[in-house]
Structure 1
Amino acid sequence: MQNQLSKKEIKLYKKQINLEKIGLEGQKKIKKSKILVIGAGGLGCPVLIYLVSSGIGCIGIIDGDEVENSNLNRQILYTIKDLAKTKVAAAKTNLNKINKECEIIVHSYKLNKYNQIEVISYYDIVIDATDNFITRYIIDEACYRLNKVYIYGAASKFEGQSGVFHYQDGIRYKNLYELKFKMMENQCNTEGIMGITTGYIGISQAIETLKIILGLSKKSRDYVNIYEMIEMIVKKKEIKTRRNRINNILTNNTEKAKKKSLIFKKTINTKKSLIVDLKDRQEFIDKHVKQAINIPMSKLKLQQTTKLLRKYEKTNNIIIYCKSIHKRQVASILLKQQIIKHKIINSKNENLIE
């Protein structure tokens, strides 16, 4: 792949080249870059469209799914004519119509622990456009081992978040969600999602990618961006790395809270435990017990939730955690109906109740 710009490319990217922070040298850096987009769905489509339009020289797309009717409202790279085609094949065809100069490499399968190193090692930056926790842990581990920048994004309903991991010894995905276990996947199938949400987050990922390529992000990242579409609120959430994280449950500067946290930590560590936090998703993101997983009340009745808890019941104490007494009681009743052994912990942290 040649890194020099042709006269046609200079004309095509004239508006970008005119920007002081890009120029000819910046456009050459964009063309030289090799980007891997993992997932060609709601997040991946806007990422791919804008990166190809920006002049990226080589883009890899990895996805094992086919285009379905329900994809079309938010996966804007596809049309009705693409139904039943593999997403990577349809994406390549449609992206070539936007920019024939971009080399597009398709990987028509899922990323897993067996192929992660081979696939990711070829690219400079990895963009996570997936919808499940397991794949994100695979991406995180591979990027850590290969020293690759990891551009993260996630969306649900009218909310989303994005971040940059493994940048100049910055935070990792596992610093955001540390507990490794199989979570319920593809939440948009059950919760619903708006196309504008995935579009917004996908564009933010494309912006972060170009900033890294152009050297406009020069500081180590220790936060993720949280987006709320209805009120158009954007805020940064600081993420502490494991080496700097205080070993209590919720960050609190008062001595009283520290003592309670130590009592709580001692109590739960007496046996191997799986803590289930009943908060809504955004509340959980804002503040949660370090070891907890998030299963909102609305998801507790789902068959996949029951299956998950029964699996971990065999090796763990299932602990229900929530500030609301009512929610704790309702959750306990639901689990008793499913004959799932569990304990309840109150918000004051002192006692475990059978």
Structure 2
Amino acid sequence: MLNPNLQEIELDKEEFQRYSRHIILPEVGLDGQKRLKAASVLCIGTGGLGSPLLLYLAAAGIGCIGIVDFDIVDSSNLQRQIIHGISWIGKPKIQSAKDRILQINPYCQVNLYETHLSSENALEILKSYDVVIDGTDNFPTRYLTNDACVLLNKPNIYGSIFRFEGQATVFNYQGGPNYRDLYPEPPPPGMVPSCAEGGVLGVLCGIIGTIQATEAIKIVLGAENTLSGRLLLYNAWDMKFRELTLRPNPERPLIDKLIDYEQFCGIPQAQAVEAQEKTTIPEITVKELKDLINYGTNTFVLIDVRNVNEYEIAKIPGSILVPLPDIEDGRGVEKIRILSQNKKVIAHCKTGVRSAKALGILKEKGILGSNVKGGITAWSKEVDPDIPQY
């Protein structure tokens, strides 16, 4: 409720004490704190961005917080998804987030939507909230969130992170631009590596997520100097901020309905290509690979196409590192050609996706090979549990 009847909203004695540092700010005051209590904010995702922003929204006194997520807590999340803890591993993230929010502020109402946000449910979920915060990490959900906010006329607070770099802005607010003004079309599938493939500095999530929470609070308070029309760029490694001006594109297509965003982002097409590649590239299981290694045969060469840092975390005995980017630019192809003279090539990565791509490139160059199904993750689960999973 961005324009609540403030006379109907009251704070009790404990709330005055809890929010006193806010209330003494001239820019917030008692009326501003009442606005925060009356407001409803929906966060899509409880990962790296959602974790810190949810903590600060709760601490700020947002009266109603909605959370959309369907994932479970994994140990690999804890380095950056600070709302979760060890005791919640294997359990739903939204339940973990709610528990932590209520520990910070029992005055918050927390609504949970343990579901995949889709074109079928997005409008129904978003319609009752004042502000929407995009804490997702995939393009279909980003475009879906944007379009639903445009149709419902909701401000959409955007953030993204990768390695050491982050972005934040406010979309669809007071006539400002939306996500399609910044990115009219999604990149080809696989063109932008995920954080699972490229990595991310944990504290970067906290910085960008906290900026998103700040913008949500400012919008509720009616502040004029939001990030609408401004894209904030942050490089944690260089400790530098930059800002780009964003404007609505008068030629952008009209958003008048929700569409199939998986199709729009080319996911089914990419999956079809991947499936076709799998049918043309032989696979072996990790147990079959283990047998080959145990036999001590010199008939194959095992190529690891992950990056150097992944190789340092965990490796299969006898594997030779040739990163996928080296294969893509041709240098790795020649190296593998030399290594594989009179030998069969067997390739692996983390889960088998990148190695399948590498083998497709090698096949075009006349080098045939087999892919390790499930990659080193399957090796850790089925062959050697001492190999770390990441």
Q: Normalising to structure 2: TM-score of the pair?
A: 0.63
- Partners of 1:151 and 1:164 within 8 A in 2: yes
Unmatched 5+ stretches in structure 1: 246-292, 294-302, 311-326, 341-354
In 1, Cα distance between the equivalents of 2:77 and 2:113? 20
Confirm or deny that 1:203 pairs with 2:202.
no
In 2, Cα distance between the equivalents of 1:207 and 1:171? 19
Taking a change above 3 Å as real, the CA distance of residues 219 and 158 of structure 1, as seen in their structure-2 partners, is: closer
In 2, Cα distance between the equivalents of 1:189 and 1:305? 22
Residue 330 of structure 1 is matched in structure 2 by 329
Alignment map for 1:133-212 (pairs within 5 Å):
133-180=139-186, 183-184=189-190, 187-212=194-219
Taking a change above 3 Å as real, the CA distance of residues 181 and 234 of structure 1, as seen in their structure-2 partners, is: closer
Confirm or deny that 1:27 pairs with 2:26.
no
Confirm or deny that 1:100 pairs with 2:100.
no
Taking a change above 3 Å as real, the CA distance of residues 183 and 33 of structure 1, as seen in their structure-2 partners, is: farther
Q: CA deviation at 1:217?
A: 2.5
Q: CA deviation at 1:231?
A: 1.4
Taking a change above 3 Å as real, the CA distance of residues 18 and 165 of structure 1, as seen in their structure-2 partners, is: same
In 2, Cα distance between the equivalents of 1:239 and 1:306? 35
Q: CA deviation at 1:181?
A: 6.5
Q: CA deviation at 1:239?
A: 2.5
Taking a change above 3 Å as real, the CA distance of residues 115 and 210 of structure 1, as seen in their structure-2 partners, is: same
Deviations 1:94-133 (A, max 9, x none): 1111111000001111111110100000101000000011
Deviations 1:173-229 (A, max 9, x none): 011111146634871110011210111100000111111111113578222100000
Taking a change above 3 Å as real, the CA distance of residues 35 and 84 of structure 1, as seen in their structure-2 partners, is: same
Q: CA deviation at 1:240?
A: 3.6
- Partners of 1:66 and 1:85 within 8 A in 2: yes
In 2, Cα distance between the equivalents of 1:244 and 1:222? 17
Equivalent pairs, count: 269
Residue 271 of structure 1 is matched in structure 2 by none
Taking a change above 3 Å as real, the CA distance of residues 338 and 140 of structure 1, as seen in their structure-2 partners, is: farther
Confirm or deny that 1:42 pairs with 2:41.
no
Deviations 1:12-50 (A, max 9, x none): 100110001000000001111100000001100000000
Alignment map for 1:1-354 (pairs within 5 Å):
3-180=9-186, 183-184=189-190, 187-217=194-224, 221-243=228-250, 307=274, 330=329, 337=362
In 2, Cα distance between the equivalents of 1:309 and 1:152? 35
Unmatched 5+ stretches in structure 2: 2-7, 253-264, 278-325, 334-357, 366-390
- Partners of 1:131 and 1:186 within 8 A in 2: no
In 1, Cα distance between the equivalents of 2:145 and 2:139? 10
Secondary structure (helix, strand or coil) at the match of 1:154 reads strand
In 1, Cα distance between the equivalents of 2:226 and 2:210? 21
Specify the structure having the higher radius of gyration (Cα). Answer: 2
* One-letter amino acid of the structure 1 residue matched with residue 220 of structure 2: I
